[in-house]
Structure 1
Amino acid sequence: MTGAPVLEVRNLSAHIATARGTVHAVDDVSLTIDGGEASGIVGESGSGKSVLAKSIMGLLPPNSARSGELTFRGRDLLSLSKKDQLEIWGNQIAMVFQDPGRSLNPVVRVERQLTEGMRRHLGLGRSEARARALTLLQEVGVPDPERRLRNYPHEMSGGMRQRVMIAIALACEPELLIADEPTTALDVTIQRQILDLLRRVQRERNMSMILISHDLAVVAGRTDRVSVMYAGRLAEVGATHDVFDAPRHRYTQALLAATPTIDHPRHSPLRVIPGALPDPTALPTGCRFAPRCDHAHDDCRTTGPELADVGTGHTAACLHPIGETAATTVTSGR
């Protein structure tokens, strides 16, 4: 069950200045995350998913600029002072990063990394924070938590490090958890365990979650809503089962068709999306997917489509959205 909006993103843009020109990584994105909702963001690598997450968290590099509105529980995040932002990051909004091996401090023991936020934001003493750290490690499935608290990150496997990252993110009971490609570099069995863990703790805590992935199967059975990104913009947004069972944007349909399934004919080539993402410093006029779309019309190349209703709670940025009979279905494989 979902509640009132926790996060409202309105016309958010994030541009990064480079030697080649300005990268339009996120361009005029609007979305809402409700209380207790699990929302997925999917798209090819380079579509702007991670930059969107870092824009929300205020983690963009110095050569970047944000514009638009970011409202968390009625507070405008873009207008807050650095001090006020630090009271929100890690406390009310937390993030699980792609690579725990690079995100965890290699020269600091797990106990300190896990208790630091609790002591700062919750005001816990050392013994209280340590006791809570043990409970958190047990909750996320870390065996022998007493010993693991004394470990350095390099003394644990990749899957174990990611569980520690999740424990750190959950330490201060955040209202919103952002998981950015949380299973990168993990083997398939561990990937499923981590994804199921995230979904379980999200439900148990009635916490809002944004799950970011390039793999549609990852979000298929673990989110309530999904947003499909392409070249910095939203292509389609709706309830996960609606978008996957009846995609209305050609890009979403192409992503689904390119997803391997267990009943795919043996020795037959996998379907691919021709071409590549456009240069983010020189984006095409009109629909950004038009150069790769087999069904593009002349107006697609000149008119940039906006998100429009194509069903109850279902929107697509397409001038010629596909009919429901053209749907392709994918099931969660992880």
Structure 2
Amino acid sequence: MTDDPLLQVRDLHAHIGSPRGVVRAVDGVSFEVRKGQALGVVGESGSGKSVMARSIMGLMPARSAHSGEVCFQGRDLLALNHKQSQEVWGKQIAMVFQDPGRSLNPVVRVERQLTEGMRRHLGVSRIEARDRALGLLKEVGVPDPERRLRSYPHELSGGMRQRVMIAIALACEPDLLIADEPTTALDVTIQRQVLDLLRKVQLERDMALMLISHDLAVVAGRTDRVAVMYAGKMAEIGATRQVFEAPRHRYTHALLGATPTIDHERHTPLRLIPGSLPAPTDPPAGCRFAARCDYAEAACTDPGPAMKAVGQDHQVACVNPARSGAADSKDSDLVGR
């Protein structure tokens, strides 16, 4: 892993027009990802995680607007036109989407979907592309790859379709893989297989990985750093073990406290975070978690917290952060899962 960031996101804003007004889905997010590093991005559904990923990829709808900088290997991706972006997709940055059933073309065989990117970006022959496709299917654990190449997506199970999606994403040897909720709609056993596969190929290829999930347990043992998003803003970012063992933002602390654990006492209610996410068309001033926080004070809303360092490689946007080491002992059980 090098010290130079592979991806630098600076003050990223992504707003989307809607009948109810402008949705401020991502509102001033900054972070870095280095080569060979795995970054987990967590937060409740609606926090802006997927929109942020699509902004990085340049896959936002026409009614959207964005600002800030997304520098990949020193090149601002937001300044690229569609043709220039096509040269980046697949070859330098690839993405695994939430629903492989909707992402794969239902009327095109797996072989063509696997090989067309290699032939375009790598300039290999049809035979060489097919051989590489077979090797990729074997690498991601697809049984009987010869047969699967001839299959249509609907002939595969959900787990097999997701493995094919991962193989497609890896086909052109990208430097960064973005996995956006890659285990959606999969059963628990298949979820673990897919997540372990992503971590395995990331380490073997020394590839950067952004793993996006609303499930804290998903990122706990499979990432080097974790970023916590809330209502379009970054709440906390740092080394995974440090954030899980000693969360400093009150939202991170509440998320960990609300996560069920195997030793949770039976017939007792789970801990919940009261309230709900603020409306993205009219977010409150200052800290957007203040209305749900038991420790909120006047400074939380006027002017609100800025991201500040609270340790080595650990930053938090909180006026009244939790004390270091103040996490419930159950919170750290997720680490190492």
TM-score interval, smaller chain: over 0.9
1:221 equivalenced with 2:224 (yes/no): no
**Aligned partner of 1:260: which letter?**
P
- Are the aligned partners of 2:241 and 2:335 in contact in 1 as well (CA < 8 Å)? no
1:117 equivalenced with 2:120 (yes/no): no
**Aligned partner of 1:331: which letter?**
L
- Cα distance in 2 for partners of 1:137, 1:4 equals 32
- Are the aligned partners of 1:256 and 1:330 in contact in 2 as well (CA < 8 Å)? no
Superimposed CA distance per residue, residues 257-285 of structure 1 (whole angstroms, 9 cap, x where no aligned partner)? 01111111111111111110000001012
TM-score, with structure 1 as normaliser? 0.98
- Cα distance in 1 for partners of 2:36, 2:336 equals 24
- Are the aligned partners of 1:14 and 1:67 in contact in 2 as well (CA < 8 Å)? yes
- Cα distance in 1 for partners of 2:274, 2:2 equals 38
Which shifted more, 300-309 or 178-187?
A: 300-309
Shift of 1:3: 4.3
- Cα distance in 2 for partners of 1:152, 1:135 equals 19
- Cα distance in 1 for partners of 2:300, 2:231 equals 15
Shift of 1:326: 1.5
- Are the aligned partners of 2:245 and 2:325 in contact in 1 as well (CA < 8 Å)? no
- Cα distance in 1 for partners of 2:303, 2:286 equals 4
- Are the aligned partners of 1:14 and 1:27 in contact in 2 as well (CA < 8 Å)? yes
User: Mapping of 1:197-216 within 5 angstroms?
Assistant: 197-216=197-216
Shift of 1:304: 1.8
Q: In structure 2, what is the equivalent of residue 303 of structure 1? A: 303
- Cα distance in 1 for partners of 2:176, 2:107 equals 28
Shift of 1:303: 2.2
Shift of 1:301: 2.7
RMSD: 1.0
- Cα distance in 2 for partners of 1:197, 1:235 equals 29
Q: In structure 1, what is the equivalent of residue 104 of structure 2? A: 104
Shift of 1:5: 1.1
- Cα distance in 1 for partners of 2:303, 2:244 equals 26
Q: In structure 1, what is the equivalent of residue 59 of structure 2? A: 59
- Are the aligned partners of 1:217 and 1:330 in contact in 2 as well (CA < 8 Å)? no
Superimposed CA distance per residue, residues 95-140 of structure 1 (whole angstroms, 9 cap, x where no aligned partner)? 0000000100000000000001000000011100000000000000
Which shifted more, 282-291 or 203-212?
A: 282-291
**Aligned partner of 1:148: which letter?**
R
Shift of 1:332: 5.2
Unaligned residue ranges in structure 2 (runs of 5+): none
Q: Percent identity?
A: 71
Q: Secondary structure at the match of 1:324?
A: coil
Q: In structure 2, what is the equivalent of residue 331 of structure 1? A: 334
- Cα distance in 1 for partners of 2:276, 2:111 equals 44
- Cα distance in 1 for partners of 2:34, 2:285 equals 33
- Cα distance in 1 for partners of 2:200, 2:174 equals 15
Shift of 1:29: 0.5
- Cα distance in 2 for partners of 1:188, 1:212 equals 17
Distance 1:168 1:3, change over 3 A: farther
- Cα distance in 1 for partners of 2:81, 2:279 equals 34
Shift of 1:295: 1.1
- Are the aligned partners of 2:10 and 2:70 in contact in 1 as well (CA < 8 Å)? yes
- Cα distance in 2 for partners of 1:3, 1:295 equals 36
User: Mapping of 1:87-236 within 5 angstroms?
Assistant: 87-236=87-236
Shift of 1:330: 3.5
TM-score, with structure 2 as normaliser? 0.97
Shift of 1:287: 1.0
Shift of 1:90: 1.1
- Are the aligned partners of 2:244 and 2:335 in contact in 1 as well (CA < 8 Å)? no
Unaligned residue ranges in structure 1 (runs of 5+): none
- Cα distance in 2 for partners of 1:142, 1:3 equals 35
Shift of 1:333: 8.2
Q: In structure 2, what is the equivalent of residue 15 of structure 1? A: 15
